[in-house]
Structure 1
Amino acid sequence: MAVENGSADEAAAVTVTVTGARTVAPAKNRCTLATFDLPYITFYYNQKLLLYRAAPDFPDAVARMTAALADALRVFYPLAGRIRQDDGGALAVEGDEGAEVFEAEAQGVAVDDLAGGDCSDEAEKVLQHLVPYTGVMNLEGLRRPLLAVQFTKLKDGLAVGCAFNHAVLDGTSTWHFMSSWAELCRGVPLSLQPIHDRSLSRSVRVRLELPASAEAHEKTDPNGPKKALVARVFSFPEPTVARIKAAANAALPPGAKPFSTFQSLGAHIWRAVSRARGLGPADITAFAVFADCRARLDPPLPPAYFGNLIQAVFTGVPAGMLLGGPPELPAGLLQKAIDEHDAAAVTRRLEEYEAAPKLFHYSDAGPNCVAVGSSPRFRVYDVDFGFGRPERVRSGGNNKFDGMVYLYPGRGGDGGIDVELALQPEPMQRLEKDDDFFLRQAAA
């Protein structure tokens, strides 16, 4: 075989025999799911909806956003793959098959019909048609894309509905991706590159016995069929949030650790929902928060870690104590539960799961529960694809059960908080008439 290196004289003096040749391709993208990811395989795709007013020409906007999505998937490559299970029962994301993109139109629907504070029941039904993959379990990621996007042309704007496989990422990573996608669409460099090494959080391989199908798992739900729910968004302006926080902290002794905005507002919601449910004094009520564990690990991990790094933190109390006691009582329960969930507690929870892996149901939150996902710290209103900030950010119907709460920052960016809450119809009607919940008496 001819040798192309060196001169002719050198070739005569030194004999080099090429013994083989081959082409080397880059390794296929592969991301082993960590223990933090696995509990969500039998939850449902997380759905987010962003409403934009007066977007540019719809075909042009969709073309630009789709091109930027392709660029984003090269960076956030786990969202472009599919879930695979190896011979040892461990799960990983492999491949680059891509996301699914839908286009739709609802030209009789205006942005204000959907983004206003008093969203009607009919508008709520429309909202659920603007996000894809309703009712699709994360288990379907073995066969379906891990990300689906729907662009819907509205009468005076654009709806961007997204469905993310929750076994692949949490809320922090969801909004990291959305912000990065928007940056690429605007033609600016990414402000934060993702970290894809999930062994940084946990490197234990866990064997999972997956159900035959999503339907088979749903039939084993001890909580019974899904209940009819009503979803509402309650906007608490910054002065109201401040009054709620001040009330929770008013009776604390000198030197005591003050309650955070989240603990104060969470306690306020917990009490109001328990009143609306008409719970008896001996009825146990639970509160759950899906806490970000990035800063809780030892060593901590940065916000750029891409994946799931959340755990559910629980507390509970009889309704009589919750409603009969002062506001600092539930705020103190939340503070204690959150503070005690340190690195050692996180590790214990992981070890318990690894020793006995369990396939959860999304409604396994506890009796008479209020559960909080999302965070007002997520900068959801900064997701600008080049035609302005969204008018409203909402969640789809997936993973919503009686008492599920999503917290978002107020659009004004002035410290207000939007509370998206799902309840059964009768308790929701009572909550909407609760002056104490809205602090109407205090504001009068």
Structure 2
Amino acid sequence: MGSCEGGVAVLVKRTELVAAVLPVAESRLALSNLDLLLPPLDVGIFFCYDKGSKDVNHEMRISMLKKGLCQALVPFFPLAGEVVINNEGEPVLLCNNRGVDFVQASADIDLHDLDLYCPDDSIHANFVPIKKHGVFSIKVTDMKCGGLVIGCTFDHRVADAHSINKFLVAWADITMSNNPVNNIATLYFPGDHDMVNKYVPCFRRSLLNPRKPGHYDTAIDDMYILCKTVASNAPPLFHLQSRIYQISAYQIQLLQSLAGPKRTKFESFSALLWKLLAKAATEDKKQCKLGIVVDGRKCLTNSSFINNKLSIDNYFGNVLSVPYSEASAGELKSLPLCEIANKVHACVGSAANEEHFRGLVDWVENHRPQPGMCKVYSIVPSETEEAAVVVSSGQRFPVTQMDYGWGRPCFGSYYFPWGGSTGYVMPMPSVTNDGDWIVFMHLSPKHLDFIEKDAPHVFKPFVF
């Protein structure tokens, strides 16, 4: 088991706004009904870079990052805007090219001495910025060894991980290019399909318009709840802690073999996690809830509502649903992993279809302007509830593509201590690109300690 030590001293040297290089006419962009299911939550991402062998000093890297950013914000202009409240009390995007907060900092510590096992102590606020204004913020920190950490924070109401991944890849590619201005010009006269697929986001909210008349399966009432007020920055009802682990490709493959031939690695991992939470329960009668984040883009690719597959893949916003399943701790303890994986598969299947997402859009429309949210996020541990956790797949996390011109990162991870009582777990590929996973986990200390004790061969505390 690893140990969490004290924080890191980081000195802020400069803060500025970086806006899109081309003028952007002020406009308002509505959030879709699926965006409206998200409370005001900020999500963090960070990438670590060794000094590398290329002759690029810190000042040159900062200049390259800012030049690439102001180019990338042209097609991704909402990220340079703000979220405001309209007359109906709902959030909308004000696309005014306010700019992105860009913070330059330095840390008197070598990159490989950074404790990534306990990111709440080392990463939070130090290397992943606390967003104070706007939609997106960036912090670039040079390390004592000559390494670099790039941290970003974005408003989850505006985009999901799929959307932000598209932006990050575009930013890196444009920055690395010898002539980014020509790249941006090509966006508006595209002749290269691959380039359009990388750089041009789609903001067609009509892709997620409600149906007339709207209708939805009553099962959605079991997945989502209405809330009179969605508090931002509210103190957590239950203390959770973040840790980062590495899981070897061998262990992932072994899990998949135990879960059955028709189960994905993600389903197999989720089944193991669910079983471990159940084993940590003090009473077999307690309920354990597992939520799975489902990306609806694949479900809508062949939709009769959408005549362009490229549009939905490049759609910028939230196209997510979070179905959940529950079982008693006693039942989960007694079941083999293959049967638990079957439950996970069924949970995913309940939402991984076009009708579910169309129905969810209609459900929101039927209740607007009263906000709703995923029911599993509202679960609080009690005498009858052992734990609730949401697992999201980060397999598209573009860590190996985040080369700004001085080489690939040596580490990358999401960081999402969302502040509620429900746990959050995101496995993503390791930068080594050899099948290993990096797993961000945000759970109670009790559950984290039990997982490490019961499955130390699977969950290895990450160290450089």
Query: Normalised by the shorter chain, which TM-score bucket?
Result: 0.7 to 0.9
Contact 1:175 1:380 in 2 (8 A): no
Question: Which secondary structure does the structure 2 equivalent of 1:244 belong to?
Answer: helix
Task: Kindly indicate whether residue 424 of structure 2 is the aligned counterpart of residue 424 of structure 1.
Answer: no
Aligned to 2:5: none
1:412 deviation in Å?
1.7
Q: How do 1:131-280 residues align onto structure 2 when only pairs under 5 Å count?
A: 131-134=127-130, 144-156=133-145, 157-187=147-177, 189=183, 190=195, 191-202=198-209, 214=232, 218=234, 225-249=236-260, 258-275=262-279, 277-280=280-283
Letter in 2 for 1:31: L
Higher mean Cα deviation, 311-320 or 353-362?
353-362
Letter in 1 for 2:203: H
Aligned to 2:423: 403
1:310 deviation in Å?
0.7
Aligned to 1:15: none
> Could you tell me how far apart the structure 1 residues matched to 2:128 and 2:155 are?
12
Contact 2:292 2:347 in 1 (8 A): no
Letter in 1 for 2:126: L
> Could you tell me how far apart the structure 2 residues matched to 1:439 and 1:233 are?
9
Question: Which secondary structure does the structure 2 equivalent of 1:407 belong to?
Answer: strand
What do you get for the CA RMSD once the two structures are aligned? Answer: 2.9
> Could you tell me how far apart the structure 2 residues matched to 1:165 and 1:428 are?
27
> Could you tell me how far apart the structure 1 residues matched to 2:284 and 2:33 are?
38
Aligned to 1:125: 121
Task: Kindly indicate whether residue 360 of structure 2 is the aligned counterpart of residue 349 of structure 1.
Answer: yes
> Could you tell me how far apart the structure 2 residues matched to 1:196 and 1:349 are?
19
Contact 2:104 2:141 in 1 (8 A): yes
> Could you tell me how far apart the structure 1 residues matched to 2:24 and 2:395 are?
40
> Could you tell me how far apart the structure 2 residues matched to 1:235 and 1:213 are?
34
Aligned to 2:318: 308
> Could you tell me how far apart the structure 2 residues matched to 1:378 and 1:321 are?
34
> Could you tell me how far apart the structure 2 residues matched to 1:284 and 1:339 are?
21
| % identical aligned pairs | 21
Question: Which secondary structure does the structure 1 equivalent of 2:153 belong to?
Answer: strand
> Could you tell me how far apart the structure 2 residues matched to 1:114 and 1:303 are?
36
Contact 2:41 2:232 in 1 (8 A): no
Contact 1:48 1:131 in 2 (8 A): no
Higher mean Cα deviation, 241-250 or 398-407?
398-407
Distance change >3 Å, CA 360–CA 345, structure 1 → 2: closer
Listed one character per residue, the Cα deviations across residues 34-88 of structure 1 (whole Å, up to 9, x for unaligned) are 0011121x23211111111116322221111011111111110111111233334
Aligned to 1:325: 335
> Could you tell me how far apart the structure 1 residues matched to 2:238 and 2:105 are?
29
1:352 deviation in Å?
2.0
Letter in 2 for 1:38: L
Aligned to 1:358: 371
> Could you tell me how far apart the structure 1 residues matched to 2:205 and 2:34 are?
9
Distance change >3 Å, CA 365–CA 384, structure 1 → 2: farther
Aligned to 1:289: 292
Contact 1:322 1:329 in 2 (8 A): no
Letter in 2 for 1:167: R
Question: Which secondary structure does the structure 2 equivalent of 1:288 belong to?
Answer: strand
Aligned to 2:62: 62
Higher mean Cα deviation, 310-319 or 91-100?
91-100
Question: Which secondary structure does the structure 1 equivalent of 2:299 belong to?
Answer: coil
Aligned to 1:10: none
Distance change >3 Å, CA 210–CA 391, structure 1 → 2: farther
1:131 deviation in Å?
4.1
Aligned partner (choices 37, 40, 52) of residue 39 of structure 1: 37
Aligned to 2:396: 377
Letter in 1 for 2:371: K
Letter in 2 for 1:129: A
Question: Which secondary structure does the structure 1 equivalent of 2:427 belong to?
Answer: strand
> Could you tell me how far apart the structure 2 residues matched to 1:335 and 1:391 are?
33
Question: Which secondary structure does the structure 2 equivalent of 1:160 belong to?
Answer: strand
Contact 1:130 1:159 in 2 (8 A): no
Aligned to 1:13: none
Aligned to 2:216: none
Question: Which secondary structure does the structure 2 equivalent of 1:296 belong to?
Answer: helix
1:283 deviation in Å?
1.0
Contact 1:109 1:154 in 2 (8 A): yes
Name stretches of at least 5 consecutive residues in structure 2 with no aligned partner: 1-22, 184-194, 213-225
Question: Which secondary structure does the structure 2 equivalent of 1:371 belong to?
Answer: strand
The TM-score normalised by the length of structure 1 is 0.79
> Could you tell me how far apart the structure 2 residues matched to 1:147 and 1:348 are?
30
Contact 1:37 1:307 in 2 (8 A): yes
Aligned to 2:71: 71
Listed one character per residue, the Cα deviations across residues 145-191 of structure 1 (whole Å, up to 9, x for unaligned) are 10100111112211111011111100000111111100010017543
Question: Which secondary structure does the structure 1 equivalent of 2:284 belong to?
Answer: coil
> Could you tell me how far apart the structure 1 residues matched to 2:228 and 2:326 are?
31
> Could you tell me how far apart the structure 1 residues matched to 2:100 and 2:407 are?
24
Question: Which secondary structure does the structure 2 equivalent of 1:74 belong to?
Answer: coil
> Could you tell me how far apart the structure 2 residues matched to 1:318 and 1:404 are?
20
1:230 deviation in Å?
3.0
Aligned to 1:339: 349
> Could you tell me how far apart the structure 1 residues matched to 2:83 and 2:34 are?
15
Name stretches of at least 5 consecutive residues in structure 1 with no aligned partner: 1-24, 219-223, 251-257
Contact 2:162 2:396 in 1 (8 A): no
Letter in 2 for 1:159: V
> Could you tell me how far apart the structure 2 residues matched to 1:192 and 1:317 are?
43
Aligned to 1:8: none
1:196 deviation in Å?
1.6
> Could you tell me how far apart the structure 2 residues matched to 1:231 and 1:71 are?
34
Letter in 1 for 2:396: R
Contact 1:371 1:405 in 2 (8 A): yes
Contact 1:410 1:418 in 2 (8 A): yes
The TM-score normalised by the length of structure 2 is 0.76
Listed one character per residue, the Cα deviations across residues 204-225 of structure 1 (whole Å, up to 9, x for unaligned) are 89xx99969736xx3xxxxx73
> Could you tell me how far apart the structure 2 residues matched to 1:333 and 1:212 are?
31
- Max Rg structure: 1
